[in-house]
Amino acid sequence: MIRINEIKLSLDEEESVLKSKAAKVLKINEKYIDTLSIYKKSVDARKKDDVHFSYSVDVEITLDEEQIAAKCKSNKVQLVKPYKYEMPVNKRVSKFRPVVVGFGPAGMFAGLILAQAGLKPIILERGRDVDSRQRDVNRFWKTRELDEESNVQFGEGGAGTFSDGKLTTGIKSPFIRKILEELYEAGAPEEILYSSKPHIGTDRLTVVVKNIRKKIESLGGEVRLECKLEKLICANGFVHGVTYSHKGESIDIEADSVIMAIGHSARDTVEMMYSLGVEIMQKPFSVGARIEHPQRLINEAQYGRFANHPRLGAADYKLACHGLHERGAYTFCMCPGGTVVAAASEKEGVIVNGMSSLARDGENANSALLVGIEPKDFPSEHPLAGIYYQREIEHTAYLLAGGDYRAPAQLVGDFLKGIESRQLGNVNPTCPTGVTLTNLDECLPQKVSATMKSAIVEMDKRLNGFNLYDAVLTAPETRSSSSVRILRDDLLQCNIRGVYPCGEGAGYAGGIISAAVDGVKCAHAVLADEH
């Protein structure tokens, strides 16, 4: 197979011309192209007077591919082999079924791989099925009555279900393609297979999550919902089982392999593991706020005169700068045409996140604007000090906004001046529980707010309008990543043998794809363990 990179199409050209353009690059008649598939598609907006699409395509031809590729003498042309996932050999001899704790991206893909390997995993998820969970979340947003076991953080699909469904990642792994193919098979749009910035959308994610669960169950696995892990049963440094609760009943399962894909908000589970002597260390995390602009402004800043072209859709951005703080500030999980999400999972704590639908057709754009927090900034050297610090910030925000799960908010212009906001301007905040206008300096750590102010001014130089006075900051965002790392060895086990810390909650991932990849890796580790 031959891959051809950097094929340019104008915004008005149809993809049907890719075949002739590929033939031109290869210097052959297009009749010799047997198949053509899009490998990657991106928008090139570096020059605002020439916004266009850039494609990489894979072609199979009826001629000698090696000879044709060599004749091209172009660095845009390369020979590639089609990707095929290979299941590792199952070396397990154990009579026990593996247990996976958590059914977010890491737990889903750990469970799916184990099911495909024929091990019939038992997956425990403390929250409810995705449809019931959606109703619980909507009820919280409407009434501000929080269910601590069924919310934006807990339930089928994990925290990623109420997000943009972004599938971009900074990691490189051969498993990414396997994950994308499984998501597509489960109902995600086909473009996730080739888009340079793939996303599923909150509305489509619910279907995908259910279909992955059904596939696991069809292979003999079990997904037990509303089943909260209470403790690991351990003796002599080995795990022997788990105890979980379901509707008031306590149930034990014998197990010698437990993948802990608990997510970044299962703080009580982390505390349970710490009490058992599991080795945990502090880990840097980030704190900040969601910043909301009119999507129209972002489109114009990114695409210039092409901003309203129907084939472009809503524009995004990714910004970073080093300012007053050694880790600087950066935007994260930008949601074009999206909404800010009230994402609390603990009583008397406020946190926000962002999400958008597949269409990304909302009036506002929002992104996290975050500042790195180092362990030296934590209040103590306790391994869980980062968790307690996050909780303190969230509780302060809860009280500042009125103690009813509204979120504290401030206009960007007022934030830069350090004055309390009194009234909204032309940007209406989208947080579904409502906002209380205030001064965010009162709930964000001083180092965070100072760095954010410096960053907003700096980022405006790269994205015109970023420091729009009426833009709204809604705080706090504290759960972009875990504040702990649960230590594991080269076999991916912690110091209690048979326990595999996994994904974002264990400190080994930061997003849907990286968490799913870690789930695959932990499943492989279980398959390789000869016990």
- Residue with more model confidence, 144 or 163: 144
Distance of CA 62 to CAs 2, 32, 34, 155, 373, Å?
Answer: 12, 5, 6, 50, 56
Encode pLDDT of 61-93 as tens digits: 999 999 999 888 888 999 999 889 999 999 999
Encode pLDDT of 424-437 as tens digits: 999 999 999 999 99
pLDDT at 347 over 90: yes
pLDDT score for 531: 75
Mark 318-335 as b/e (b = at least 16 C-beta within 10 Å).
ebebebebebbbbbbbbb
- Return the axis-axis angle of helices 202-218 and 130-143, rounded to nearest 10°: 150
Q: Reading across the β-sheet that carries 258-260, which strands appear in turn?
A: 222-225, 122-125, 99-101, 258-260, 499-501
DSSP state at residue 31: G
Q: Name every residue whose Cβ is closer than 8 Å to that of residue 94 and which is 6 or more positions away in sequence.
A: 256, 257, 531
- Return the axis-axis angle of helices 105-116 and 175-185, rounded to nearest 10°: 90
**326 band by pLDDT with thresholds 50, 70 and 90:** low
pLDDT at 416 over 70: yes
Nearest by Cα to 52 from 7, 6, 4, 8: 8
Encode pLDDT of 10-44 as tens digits: 999 999 999 999 999 999 999 999 999 999 999 99
**161 band by pLDDT with thresholds 50, 70 and 90:** confident
pLDDT at 421 over 60: yes
- Residue with more model confidence, 260 or 361: 260
In the block, residue with structure tokens 């959606």: 134
CA atoms of 38 and 441, how far apart (whole Å):
48
Tokens of 201: 């959308």
Tokens of 465: 């309008």
pLDDT at 325 over 60: no
**324 band by pLDDT with thresholds 50, 70 and 90:** low
What proportion of the chain, given as a percentage, has pLDDT over 70? 99
Q: Name every residue whose Cβ is closer than 8 Å to that of residue 304 and which is 6 or more positions away in sequence.
A: 48, 49, 51
Contact call for residues 368 and 332 (beta carbons, < 8 A) = yes
pLDDT score for 307: 93
pLDDT score for 327: 63
Nearest by Cα to 365 from 510, 438, 466: 466
pLDDT at 201 over 90: no
Q: Name every residue whose Cβ is closer than 8 Å to that of residue 46 and which is 6 or more positions away in sequence.
A: none
Q: What is the mean pLDDT of residues 190-202?
A: 89
pLDDT score for 46: 92
Nearest by Cα to 478 from 286, 283, 281, 267: 286
Contact call for residues 110 and 523 (beta carbons, < 8 A) = yes
Helix (H, G, I), strand (E, B) or coil at 191: helix
pLDDT score for 4: 96
**412 band by pLDDT with thresholds 50, 70 and 90:** very high
Contact call for residues 82 and 193 (beta carbons, < 8 A) = no
Nearest by Cα to 57 from 82, 77, 37: 37
pLDDT at 267 over 70: yes
Phi, psi of 197 (to 5 degrees): -130, 70
Longest CA–CA span in the chain (Å) reads 71
**308 band by pLDDT with thresholds 50, 70 and 90:** confident
- Residue with more model confidence, 109 or 204: 109
Q: What is the mean pLDDT of residues 392-396?
A: 98
pLDDT at 466 over 90: yes
Q: What is the mean pLDDT of residues 138-152?
A: 95
Tokens of 169: 């990642």
Distance of CA 212 to CAs 175, 186, 279, 421, Å?
Answer: 17, 6, 32, 45
Q: List own/partner pairs for 85-89 with CB under 8 A and 24 or more apart.
A: 85/174, 85/175, 85/177, 85/178, 85/181, 87/113, 87/116, 87/117, 88/524, 88/527, 88/528, 89/527
DSSP state at residue 97: P
CA atoms of 342 and 140, how far apart (whole Å):
9
Tokens of 112: 């799916």
- Return the axis-axis angle of helices 512-528 and 175-185, rounded to nearest 10°: 110
Nearest by Cα to 144 from 348, 290, 423, 428: 348
Judged by average pLDDT, the poorest of 188-197, 225-234, 394-403 is: 188-197
Residue type, 116: Q
The rounded Cα 176 to chain-centroid distance in angstroms is 14
Q: What is the mean pLDDT of residues 276-287?
A: 97
pLDDT at 139 over 60: yes
Helix (H, G, I), strand (E, B) or coil at 484: strand
Q: Name every residue whose Cβ is closer than 8 Å to that of residue 281 and which is 6 or more positions away in sequence.
A: 383, 484, 485, 487
pLDDT score for 359: 83
Nearest by Cα to 132 from 184, 206, 190: 206
Encode pLDDT of 359-369 as tens digits: 889 999 999 99
Nearest by Cα to 48 from 336, 305, 311: 305
Average pLDDT, the chain: 94
